[in-house]
């Protein structure tokens, strides 16, 4: 509302009819029109002044909302008898609005005055005892800085976040507000020494080159070298760009090499990859979920790449989920979303399934168990499809393999012995239920094996 509108907005004024009505209900039927007009004017004036006075109390007590007590105080101040009975515990006025019959269907406010049954009052459960004032303490600021604790709100507002993401330059100026915009340093290219440049060239060439011997050495160097901090961003960039390009050209071999480089970087204890996850994760995820990874998908072993990448993915989640809040959830959500979108090919579903299964016992129990049933249905549907390709057949076999590899051990540890086939059918559907039942019962008879399902067949990669 603009100020002009505010200035001209109507103010409190009692309608003539209501005063007439009130006068009538108080045994003053024979008032002339003039006297009622006068009364209206007077009453309006008095109530306006009372409200002004009540506002003084409201403001004195620094309330943002006027309460009935304030009005009561204002009445006392003018030596009027306060009206009682208009106070509710929740602070609302006990009025309700109805439309009156006659008088042109105007809205009328009246007091909701329902009768109480004495029995009900007596037998009703005791209301909660009103709590007394309690005091909580926390640090709002420590030496001028707000600590990030639960009691304090998030320091960065949502608006700031959006502007930050839209215009990073702006946030930069905001953070260094003591500097002029012109004084902000333009990003300085960080120059590598000649030796580092040579090392970078050699390593990247060796990793994607044709000589297996050299590659082994390069990967070993990546996983053990301690002074790689300066070229780490470049290597990460190399990996992510490499994955992008080779994914389009279905260059399976190179993709596998790049994943091995990633693995080496993760193994290196002296490197700290947290800053580069935004580049590494997309690369890995595309290796897991891509529709096609090689030129001849029915013949080439792209399954190995998917398995390997998903185990790396699980490893990274385990490594960084402690320091990055919500990392696991985000990754798991991506897999689940991929799994639930029906129009994607079965290969991608395979990738998502493996990715989820690699995440460990908990994820399998919580997320993989519920989706097996739909997976079974989907497989039954595609098997019935007459135009089932050779590719899909192998995929189904692979999926079966994954399920029999991960699910029975997980089931065995999570549920207790009495296994019931009906129960299996109910939980995992008609397709996988019986299968899993037989596998689980078999495994239960065997002694507990030490082999963990997370051990992926890495031999296929090398």
Residues 6+ apart with CB under 8 A from 118: none
Q: How far is CA 103 from CA 25, 35, 107, 143, in A?
A: 15, 21, 10, 66
Q: How far is CA 411 from CA 324, 429, 442, 462, in A?
A: 30, 15, 12, 31
Question: Is 143 a binder of another protein (CB under 8 A)?
Answer: yes
Question: Is 278 a binder of another protein (CB under 8 A)?
Answer: no
Question: Is 139 a binder of another protein (CB under 8 A)?
Answer: yes
Question: Is 64 a binder of another protein (CB under 8 A)?
Answer: yes
Contact (Cβ atoms closer than 8 angstroms) between residue 288 and residue 308:
no
Question: Is 194 a binder of another protein (CB under 8 A)?
Answer: no
Query: How many residues of this chain interact with another protein, rule: CB under 8 A?
Result: 52
Question: Is 180 a binder of another protein (CB under 8 A)?
Answer: yes
Question: Is 35 a binder of another protein (CB under 8 A)?
Answer: no
Nearer to another protein, 73 or 439 (CB): 73
Residue from 15, 17, 76, 237 binding another protein (CB under 8 A) = 76
What the block records as the tokens of 156 is: 């960065």
Residue from 17, 35, 52, 460 binding another protein (CB under 8 A) = 52
Residue from 15, 24, 35, 48 binding another protein (CB under 8 A) = 48
The Cα 412–Cα 448 span in angstroms is 10
Nearer to another protein, 107 or 143 (CB): 143
The Cα 342–Cα 427 span in angstroms is 21
Question: Is 244 a binder of another protein (CB under 8 A)?
Answer: no
Q: What's CA 441's distance to the chain center, in Å?
A: 39
The Cα 305–Cα 255 span in angstroms is 8
CA proximity to 358, closest of 296, 447, 288:
288
CB of 8 to another protein, least distance (A): 6
Nearer to another protein, 156 or 388 (CB): 156
CB of 185 to another protein, least distance (A): 17
Question: Is 182 a binder of another protein (CB under 8 A)?
Answer: no
The Cα 15–Cα 35 span in angstroms is 14
Nearer to another protein, 6 or 451 (CB): 6
Question: Is 114 a binder of another protein (CB under 8 A)?
Answer: no
Phi, psi angle pair for 410, to nearest 5° = -65, -40
Residues 6+ apart with CB under 8 A from 81: 75
CB of 43 to another protein, least distance (A): 11
Question: Is 60 a binder of another protein (CB under 8 A)?
Answer: yes
Residue from 116, 118, 121, 142 binding another protein (CB under 8 A) = 142
Long-range contacts of the stretch 319-325 (C-beta < 8 A, 24+): 319/266, 320/273, 320/274, 320/277, 323/274, 324/274, 324/277
Three-class SS of residue 97? strand
CB of 109 to another protein, least distance (A): 22
CB of 162 to another protein, least distance (A): 18
Report the interface residues with another protein, using CB under 8 A: 2-4, 6-8, 11, 13, 41-42, 44-45, 48-49, 52, 56-57, 59-62, 64, 67, 69, 73, 76-77, 130-146, 151-153, 155, 177-180
């Amino acid at each position: 509302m603009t100020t002009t509108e505010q200035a001209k907005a109507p103010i409190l004024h009692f309608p003539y009819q209501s005063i007439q009505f009130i006068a009538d209900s108080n045994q003053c039927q024979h008032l002339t029109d003039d006297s009622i007009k006068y009364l209206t004017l007077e009453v309006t004036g008095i109530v306006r002044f009372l409200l002004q006075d009540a506002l003084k109390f409201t403001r004195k007590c620094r309330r943002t909302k006027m309460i009935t007590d304030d009005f009561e105080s204002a009445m006392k101040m003018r030596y009027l008898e306060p009206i009682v009975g208009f106070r509710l515990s929740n602070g609302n006025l006990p009025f309700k609005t109805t439309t009156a019959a006659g008088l042109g269907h105007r809205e009328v406010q009246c007091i909701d005055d329902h009768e109480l049954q004495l029995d009900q009052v007596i037998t009703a459960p005791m209301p909660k005892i009103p709590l007394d004032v309690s005091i909580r303490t926390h640090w709002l600021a420590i030496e001028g800085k707000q600590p990030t604790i639960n009691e304090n709100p998030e320091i960065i507002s949502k608006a700031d976040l959006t502007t930050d993401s839209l215009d990073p330059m702006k946030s930069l100026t905001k953070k260094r507000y003591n500097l002029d915009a012109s004084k902000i340093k333009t990003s300085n290219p960080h120059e590598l020494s000649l030796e580092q440049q040579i090392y970078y060239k050699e390593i990247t060439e060796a990793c994607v080159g044709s000589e297996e011997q050299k590659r082994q050495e390069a990967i070993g160097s990546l996983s053990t070298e301690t002074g790689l901090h300066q070229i780490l961003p470049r290597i990460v960039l190399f990996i992510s760009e490499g994955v992008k390009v080779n994914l389009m050209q279905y260059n399976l071999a190179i993709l596998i090499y790049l994943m091995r480089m990633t693995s080496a970087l993760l193994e290196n204890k002296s490197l700290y990859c947290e800053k580069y996850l935004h580049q590494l994760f997309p690369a890995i995820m595309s290796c897991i979920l891509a529709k096609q990874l090689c030129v001849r998908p029915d013949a080439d072993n792209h399954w190995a790449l998917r398995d390997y990448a998903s185990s790396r993915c699980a490893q990274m989640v385990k490594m960084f989920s402690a320091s990055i809040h919500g990392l696991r959830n985000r990754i798991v959500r991506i897999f689940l979303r991929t799994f639930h979108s029906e129009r994607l090919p079965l290969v991608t579903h395979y990738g998502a399934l493996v990715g989820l299964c690699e995440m460990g016992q908990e994820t399998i129990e919580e997320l993989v168990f519920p989706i097996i049933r739909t997976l079974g249905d989907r497989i039954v549907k595609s098997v019935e499809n007459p135009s089932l390709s050779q590719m899909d057949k192998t995929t189904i076999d692979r999926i079966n393999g994954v399920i029999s590899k991960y699910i029975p051990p997980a089931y065995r540890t999570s549920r207790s012995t009495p296994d019931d086939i009906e129960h299996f059918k109910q939980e995992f559907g008609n397709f996988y239920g019986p299968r899993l039942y037989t596998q689980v019962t078999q495994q239960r008879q065997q002694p507990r094996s030490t082999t963990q399902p997370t051990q992926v067949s890495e031999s296929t990669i090398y």
